[in-house]
């Protein structure tokens, strides 16, 4: 009988410019998605199709941190253009990997004053990214 699959978030690596993520927000704290479709498909009136492949390596990246995370200050420096760091995200639990040589913060996190610790959501773009979901064959 095969052992059940397990998942441990502490096995994941999230590094921005060599700075490891600490103070991850609640729930999903990193989200990566392609900025555009890989294929543009056109269908003629007679049903014939054509497909054009995009070589886009642009990705949307969302990073959610607790308001107390020291990485907020680092991402603020990225936002104002002081830094253009690399990003590395690896999840050995699902054999997933994302790397990009340049991360830009395109929208700063909203600042909230509250009587509880709030999440801060950073909206970023990764240039030259490579995403492997579930590994590579």
How does pLDDT run across 53-75, given as a tens digit for each residue? Answer: 999 999 999 999 999 999 999 99
Q: Is 25 among the domain residues?
A: yes
Taking CA 92 as the corner, what is the angle to CA 128 and CA 2, rounded to the nearest 5 degrees? 145
Q: Is 76 among the domain residues?
A: yes
Q: Output the pLDDT for position 30.
A: 92
Q: Output the pLDDT for position 94.
A: 80
Q: How many CA atoms lie within 13 Å of 32's alpha carbon, on the beta-carbon side?
A: 22
Calculate what percentage of the chain has a pLDDT beyond 70: 98
- Rounded Cα distance between 81 and 37, Å, is 28
- Cβ–Cβ < 8 Å for 27, 85: no
104: domain range? 11-35+56-132
- Using DSSP's 3-state secondary structure scheme, residue 106 falls into strand
Calculate what percentage of the chain has a pLDDT beyond 90: 68
Q: Is 45 among the domain residues?
A: no
Look at the chain and report how many structural domains it folds into: 1
Q: Output the pLDDT for position 137.
A: 62
- Rounded Cα distance between 118 and 9, Å, is 20
- Using DSSP's 3-state secondary structure scheme, residue 74 falls into helix
| pLDDT tens readout for residues 95-132 | 899 999 999 999 999 988 889 888 999 999 999 999 99
- Using DSSP's 3-state secondary structure scheme, residue 68 falls into coil
Statement: the pTM of the whole predicted model exceeds 0.95? no
Q: Is 111 among the domain residues?
A: yes
- Rounded Cα distance between 86 and 103, Å, is 6
């Amino acid at each position: 009988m095969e052992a059940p699959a397990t998942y441990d978030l502490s096995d994941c690596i999230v590094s921005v410019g060599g700075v490891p993520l600490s103070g991850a927000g609640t729930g999903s704290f990193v989200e990566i998605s392609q900025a555009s479709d890989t294929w543009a498909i056109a269908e003629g009136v007679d049903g014939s199709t054509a497909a054009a492949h995009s070589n886009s390596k642009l990705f949307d990246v969302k990073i959610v941190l607790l308001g107390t995370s020291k990485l907020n200050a680092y991402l603020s420096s990225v936002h104002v253009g002081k830094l253009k760091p690399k990003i590395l995200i690896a999840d050995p639990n699902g054999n997933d990997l994302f790397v990009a040589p340049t991360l830009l913060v395109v929208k700063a996190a909203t600042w909230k004053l509250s009587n509880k610790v709030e999440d801060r959501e950073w909206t970023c773009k990764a240039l030259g990214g490579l995403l492997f979901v579930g590994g590579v064959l």
